[in-house]
Amino acid sequence: MRKLILFATMAIAATVLPTAVASASAAPAAGNPAQTTAQAQPAAGPSAAQLLAKMNSCKQISNGKYKTDEDAGSTTVAVCDANGAVFWKADMDIDCDGQRTSQCNEDTDCCFQDDTAFHQSDGQPLNAAALPYIVVPSSSSTWNYGSSGLKGGGSCAVIYNGKVEYTVIGDTGPTGIIGEASYATAKDLGINPDPSNGGTDSGVTYLCFKNSKVSPIENHGSANSTGQNLANQFVSNN
């Protein structure tokens, strides 16, 4: 797993000696109170390749498979179980529901709805144009996401074309379709986010961590830190 540890420059106040670089684990020099210990930074999340390497095989937990689109000819996507997470490999359709913005409204999206299944801490719908989130299928006989330890505001990683985007579970979709994420998720991953003609037909992996919670749901910084920590655990434990 990749961890980035930042090094800090240690200043020696009483002398004109050159600055010294010390690792975050180094102890302060004896007898020199001006020299302080560098503070370790939070570990960054694993790479896309490291995550994907842990999802080479599928222990299917869905009762059957999902379509990627309503007009797809067959069901092709299974939900897979792992230690501490579930995942699926699908396409990405664009969810533009929730708050009206210049990117997401009745004019830009033929199927726009002014609500999301899960709400911000102030009770308002999520903002698909600003918040990276994913959509899980509504519970059905095929799969009940809640029975897998997933819930609104749960932490997920979305992987595409060598990039990892940490998101939350923000909305629910049709019972028979899987593979959807917000405008902001697509944009951050370099996928066309236009709700009328955007998305991608394949190559997207959705990894959601069991019994996780990002709070508040609308804080993407919290989603990043929570997701990175859980992704590191996922790589270590699978």
Report pLDDT digits (tens) over 93-123. Answer: 999 999 999 999 999 999 999 999 999 999 9
At residue 230, does pLDDT exceed 60? yes
- Share of residues in the chain with pLDDT > 70 (%): 82
Mean pLDDT for 182-198 is: 97
Q: Is the pTM of this model over 0.85?
A: no
Report pLDDT digits (tens) over 32-78. Answer: 433 333 333 445 899 999 999 999 999 999 999 999 998 888 999 99
At residue 3, does pLDDT exceed 70? no
Mean pLDDT for 182-192 is: 98
For residue 158, the cross-strand partners are 165, 206
